Amino acid sequence: MDNVLGYAGKRVIVTGCFSGMGEATARLLLDLGAEVHGMDYKACALPLASFNTVDLRDPASIDAGVANIGGKIDALFNCAGLPNAFPAMDVMKVNFLGLRHLTEAVLPLMGKGGAIASIASTGGLGWSRRVPANMEFVTTKGWDAGMAWCEANMDTVGEGYAFSKENVIVWTQFMGAHLIKKGIRINCTLPSPTQTPMMASFQATSGKEVIDAAAEPMGRYSTATEQAGGLVLLNSALASIINGVVLPVDGGFMGGLATGQVDISKMMRRAAPAEA
């Protein structure tokens, strides 16, 4: 039972491994005996099998990073992301278009038993109210078509973060039914607010009261290590039948929301404008 999660000797890729949830995921996978290949915009200090500097805003950079790794890949962890403090199109590129492009580049390296886990967000919970727009976007073919759709629909894209995360959710569910025919699973997580280097940016742009409301009923922010556990579980051998799932990793937030124990009105408020 020492290798119950099935990672010993497996080749995996982790994006966003410099810090936060990506770094915690890579660290946990190393502890479990995986051969971990990292990708990020900034260098990672962990003892990885390889590290490639990749800019998820640039498809050529993504392709080069995947080509440098090569060989069979058993699992992909899409952990890289940007908060809404960045320009909307940069957020869209990193959080969805780059994630999709990288996944599509890795898929030919995967065989039966392969698994993909991505980080979405409770910020993307509005997906169910605009599935037609989400589906129109996630089914665009390739980087250029995705960019063109965004540029023609900037009112829908908005600040980028919520829409990008909605699309991670919808695309995960859509692709689950397709990839499972090849024996490959794909899932994503919905983290509760997590204490990472991006938290200050989230509080500044959304308001601390809004972020804190999303941390109920647990009453605290999760840790990057706790979030890594959910991702690692989804791509593990124990989860071999779990596919196309949007998994809350939130200390009970979704359950509290569904049963009226979380005040959703707080989350609908915007941060008050700063005084001049």
Active site residues: 161
Query: Apex CA 135: angle with CA 130 and CA 141, to 5°?
Result: 150
Tokens at residue 248, please?
């809350």
Q: How far apart are the C-alpha atoms of 69 and 50, rounded to whole Å?
A: 8
Residue 36 is inside which H or E element, if any?
Answer: strand 35-40
Residue 78, judged by CB atoms within 10 A of its CB (0-12, 13-18, 19+), counts as: buried
Q: How far apart are the C-alpha atoms of 15 and 25, rounded to whole Å?
A: 10
Residue 112, judged by CB atoms within 10 A of its CB (0-12, 13-18, 19+), counts as: exposed
Q: How far apart are the C-alpha atoms of 173 and 176, rounded to whole Å?
A: 5
